């Protein structure tokens, strides 16, 4: 421990013996450092906070979701620092006084883009806008004023983009969509005319809708259905024919007037005579038998002859037979027509094999154009409705929470701290130089170091003897050193005071 203490004393003695060198180095570095700090221009920062609320009761109804609202805020933050907006800032603030051409405007825009910050808080509706002005060619007051003007202009642009930008964007979008809808409408009309012309040439030969192959398949299916229906109708007609053949056209025993026929009356008289017990040889019985035989030979008492009437069942079956026959005829005619159209279309396909592909292409083009047209119409209605919601319901609420501040002190650099740092750095550098010189000099501060270096024992050492005159000289030099050291610190403190005074004046 004693050895370390001795070593420390030796180091301190070496530095102290070269104190003037250390003080000179400290003065030189401090003067250079303070000059560099003085040349750093002051940066003045102005801040503002705005509140933007994009919520609306109708947002979810018309498709304006919270995610889209957040995207709107992100879009504003990203476009606020665009070249177009920054050019407006340059032209509408005091920055325009130092602009003489497009090159100066471009340089100002580049500087502004580096010195402007637009940041969202934890609440996405809160946005902080800050700007820094650090033009060395301007005074502190001018830089502070320009920083405040930049933030105010950014707020104006922000408000304009949020309140009136949506309206202009909606108008531009609607105009673009109207143009696209008109173009697609003409293309759709032309495609429809081509489809009509094609249908008149080919597709009109077969009924139904769809392509030629679809219509041919539908015709074949309908023919198959007609065949099954025709078989059923023919079977029903055959049954009717058989039933009609076994049904008499007239009914015997009933007169046309509803009373008994002459044959029935004669037979009744003959039966009454026989009931009385008269024999066959009785003259009246013989006369009655002859009358019955004569009536039977004359027609049996029909309607014309007075012996029958039309059968109602026969008439009904005859009507049903005619209906079944008409059904069979209609089905046969329809089948023949479809078969003829199908044969004609098949022959056209053989003669012109590209008909089906041409129709598919026409239908595909028409479907694609119709889909685009419907999508454009839907988008136009949605954009129009959104624009009305944002403009009519006050969907955007804009309020300045913290107006742009006018900086009274530079935000950078922290010149008092830098001045003190330069002082400490200069003193440290001086001490370091003195220590290095002490290590490089070929002298031995103690007898022990000499003995260690030579490897030989040292018999003794002679102490320095200082007279009264030398003591007086050393005291005078000490006063000079203390004054020079105090002057270094005083200069530093003076520069700090001057900095605070300049801030107050700014």
Ranges 83-87, 147-151, 249-253, 501-505: which has the least confidence: 249-253
| Domain count within the chain | 3
Task: Quote the percentage of the chain above a pLDDT of 70.
Answer: 68
Tens-digit pLDDT profile for residues 157-171: 777 765 555 566 667
Q: pTM above 0.85?
A: no
Q: Are residues 15 and 95 in the same domain?
A: no
Q: Does 361 map to a domain?
A: no
Question: With 60 as the cut, is the pLDDT of residue 64 above it?
Answer: no
pLDDT score, position 60: 42
Say yes or no: 223 and 113 in one domain.
no
Please tell me whether residues 222 and 337 are part of one structural domain.
Answer: yes
Higher pLDDT, 29 or 441: 29
Task: Give mean pLDDT, residues 187-200.
Answer: 77
Q: Is 253 left (phi over 0), alpha (psi -120 to 50) or beta?
A: left
* φ, ψ of residue 81 in degrees (nearest 5): -95, 25
CA distance 199 to 195: 6
Q: Do residues 203 and 405 lie in contact, with contact meaning Cβ atoms separated by under 8 Å? A: no
Question: Band of the pLDDT at 124, cuts 50, 70, 90?
Answer: low
Same domain flag for 34 and 48? no
Q: Rounded to whole angstroms, how far apart are CA atoms 391 and 385? A: 10
Q: What is the model's pLDDT at position 112?
A: 82
In a domain, 265, yes or no: yes
**Is a pLDDT exceeding 70 seen at residue 443?**
no
Instruction: Tell me, yes or no, whether 370 lies in a domain.
Output: no
Instruction: Please report the DSSP string for 324-382 in residue order.
Output: HHHHHHHHHHHHHHHHHHHHHHHHHHHH-TTHHHHHHHHHHHHHHHHHHHHHHHHHHHH
* One domain, residues 26 and 81: no
396 within a domain of the structure (yes/no):
no
Boundary residue ending a domain (305, 333, 352): 352
Residue 16: which residues within 8 A CB-CB, separation 6 or more?
Answer: none
Average pLDDT over residues 394-403: 68
Say how far apart CA 386 and CA 241 lie, in whole Å: 75
3-class secondary structure, 412: strand
- What's the pLDDT tens digit per position in 226-283? 888 888 888 888 887 877 777 766 665 544 444 556 666 777 777 777 777 777 787 7
Q: Cα separation of 153 and 371, whole Å?
A: 45
User: Are residues 31 and 105 located together in one domain of the fold?
Assistant: no
Q: So what's the pLDDT on residue 274?
A: 76
Q: Which residues of 156-193 are buried (b: 16+ CB within 10 A; e: fewer)?
A: ebbbebbeebbeeebeebeeebeeebeebeebbeebee
Does one domain contain both 225 and 335? yes
pLDDT greater than 60 at residue 67: no
pLDDT-based confidence at residue 28 (cuts at 50, 70, 90): very high
Domain that includes residue 136, residue range: 44-163
Q: Give the pairing type, strands 250-252 and 308-310.
A: antiparallel
Please tell me whether residues 492 and 436 are part of one structural domain. Answer: yes
- Answer with the residue of higher pLDDT: 138 or 460: 138
Assign 305 a pLDDT band (cuts: 50, 70, 90). very low
Predicted local confidence at residue 395, as pLDDT: 47
Q: Is the domain of 484 the same as that of 499?
A: yes
Of 302, 335, 352, which marks where a domain is finished?
352
- Res 134: pLDDT: 79
- pLDDT of 72-86, one tens digit each? 556 666 667 777 788
* Average pLDDT in the chain: 75
Q: Taking the CB of residue 147, how many other CB atoms lie within 10 A of it?
A: 27
359 located within any domain: no
For residues 103 and 156, state if they share a domain: yes
Structure token digits, residue 231: 């078989």
Least confident of 82-86, 278-282, 312-316, 351-355: 351-355
One domain for residues 424 and 320: no
Phi and psi at residue 277, in whole multiples of 5°? 100, 10
Task: Decide if 198 is inside a domain.
Answer: no
Q: What is the pLDDT of residue 493?
A: 92
The CATH number of the domain where 79 resides is what? 3.30.1890
pLDDT band at 31 (very low <50, low <70, confident <90, very high): very high
The secondary structure of 415-432, three-state, reads: HHHHHHHHHHHHHHHHHH
What pLDDT, on the 0 to 100 scale, is given for residue 328?
A: 86
Which of 335, 352, 369 terminates a domain? The answer is: 352
pLDDT-based confidence at residue 40 (cuts at 50, 70, 90) = confident
Look at residue 422 in the predicted model and tell me its pLDDT: 92
Instruction: Tell whether 223 is covered by a domain.
Output: yes
Query: Is the residue at 363 inside a domain?
Result: no
Query: Are residue 260 and residue 344 in the same domain, yes or no?
Result: yes
């Amino acid at each position: 421990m004693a050895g370390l203490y001795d070593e420390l004393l030796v180091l301190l003695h070496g530095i102290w013996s070269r104190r003037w060198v250390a003080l000179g180095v400290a003065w030189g570095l401090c003067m250079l450092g303070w000059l560099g700090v003085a040349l750093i221009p002051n940066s003045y920062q102005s801040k503002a906070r705005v509140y933007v609320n994009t919520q609306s009761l109708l947002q979810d109804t018309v498709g304006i979701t919270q995610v889209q609202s957040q995207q709107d805020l992100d879009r504003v933050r990203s476009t606020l620092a665009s070249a177009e907006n920054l050019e407006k800032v340059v032209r509408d603030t005091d920055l325009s006084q130092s602009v003489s051409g497009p090159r100066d405007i471009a340089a100002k825009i580049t500087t502004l883009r580096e010195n402007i910050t637009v940041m969202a808080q934890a609440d996405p509706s809160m946005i902080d806008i800050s700007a820094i002005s650090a033009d060395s060619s301007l005074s502190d007051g001018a830089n502070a004023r320009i920083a405040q003007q930049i933030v105010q202009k950014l707020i104006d642009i922000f408000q304009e983009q949020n309140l009136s930008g949506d309206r202009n964007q909606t108008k531009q979008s609607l105009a673009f969509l109207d143009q696209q809808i008109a173009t697609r409408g003409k293309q759709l009309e032309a495609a429809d005319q081509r489809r009509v012309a094609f249908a008149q040439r080919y597709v009109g030969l077969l009924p139904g809708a769809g392509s030629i192959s679809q219509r041919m398949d539908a015709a074949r299916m309908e023919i198959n259905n007609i065949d099954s229906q025709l078989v059923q109708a023919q079977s029903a007609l055959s049954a009717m024919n058989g039933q009609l053949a076994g049904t008499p056209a007239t009914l015997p025993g009933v007169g046309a007037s509803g009373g008994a026929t002459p044959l029935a009356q004669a037979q009744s008289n003959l039966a009454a005579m026989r009931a009385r017990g008269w024999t066959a040889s009785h003259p009246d019985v013989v006369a009655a038998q002859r009358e019955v035989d004569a009536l039977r030979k004359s027609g049996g008492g029909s309607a014309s002859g007075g012996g029958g009437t039309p059968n109602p069942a026969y008439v009904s079956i005859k009507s049903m037979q005619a209906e079944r026959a008409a059904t069979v005829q209609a089905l046969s005619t329809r089948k023949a027509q479809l078969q003829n159209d199908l044969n004609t279309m098949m022959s056209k396909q053989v003669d012109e094999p590209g008909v089906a592909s041409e129709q598919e292409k026409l239908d595909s083009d028409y479907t694609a154009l119709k889909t685009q047209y419907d999508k454009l119409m839907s988008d136009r209605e949605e954009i129009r409705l959104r624009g009305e919601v944002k403009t009519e319901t006050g969907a955007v609420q804009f309020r300045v929470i913290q107006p742009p501040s006018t900086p009274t002190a530079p935000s950078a650099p922290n010149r008092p701290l830098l001045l003190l740092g330069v002082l400490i750095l200069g003193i440290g550098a001086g001490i370091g130089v003195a220590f290095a010189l002490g290590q490089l000099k070929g002298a031995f501060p103690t007898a022990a170091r000499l003995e260690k270096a030579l490897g030989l024992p040292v018999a003794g050492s002679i102490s320095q003897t200082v007279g009264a005159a030398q003591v007086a000289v050393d005291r005078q030099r000490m006063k000079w050193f203390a004054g020079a050291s105090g002057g270094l610190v005083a200069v530093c403190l003076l520069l700090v005071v001057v900095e605070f005074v300049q801030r107050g004046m700014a």
